[in-house]
């Protein structure tokens, strides 16, 4: 896949406010937050989007969700939060490196825009 800005964040070539990191995943604050807490959780391995995953990614996808829960607890989001995975053009995806948005500390509305 073509490199994105997130590859540079993973390699620490550009700064980001990192809140969690291990060998598999990275979590950092969104530069343009849509809620008081807005964190992106990404795999270090470049995957374009949910539309591109294969059965080989099953464990990693589960681990991404576990990481969301870990970071949400770390951020004190006891009242709840929203997880968003924009996928493809119509899904509103702008950065083509899979990422989960963790949004919290405000009341979410439904349906989303």
- Which residues fall within 8 angstroms of residue 12, CB to CB, at 6 or more apart? none
Applying CB under 6 A, among 10, 19, 27, 28 the residue interacting with ligand 5GP is 28
Sketch the per residue contact string, 75 through 94, with ligand 5GP: x for CB under 6 A, - otherwise: -----------x-----xxx
Task: Please return the burial class of 68, using the count of CB atoms within 10 Å of its CB with bins 0-12, 13-18 and 19+.
Answer: buried
99 is catalytic: yes
Angle at 77 between CA 97 and CA 95, to 5 degrees: 15
Sketch the per residue contact string, 35 through 74, with ligand 5GP: x for CB under 6 A, - otherwise: -----x----------------------------------
Is 5 near ligand 5GP (CB under 6 A)?
yes
Q: Are 10 and 40 in contact (CB under 8 A)?
A: no
Q: Which residues form the interface with ligand 5GP (CB under 6 A)? A: 5, 16, 28-32, 40, 86, 92-95
């Amino acid at each position: 896949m073509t490199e994105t800005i997130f590859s540079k964040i993973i390699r620490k070539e550009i700064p980001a406010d990192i809140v969690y990191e291990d060998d598999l995943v990275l979590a950092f604050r969104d530069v343009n937050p849509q809620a008081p807490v807005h964190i992106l959780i990404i795999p270090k391995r470049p995957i374009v989007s949910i539309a591109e995953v294969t059965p080989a990614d099953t464990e990693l996808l589960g681990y991404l969700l576990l990481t969301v829960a870990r970071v949400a607890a770390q951020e004190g989001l006891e009242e709840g939060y929203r997880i968003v995975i924009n996928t493809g053009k119509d899904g509103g995806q702008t950065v083509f490196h899979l990422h989960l948005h963790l949004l919290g500390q405000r009341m979410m509305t439904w349906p989303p825009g």
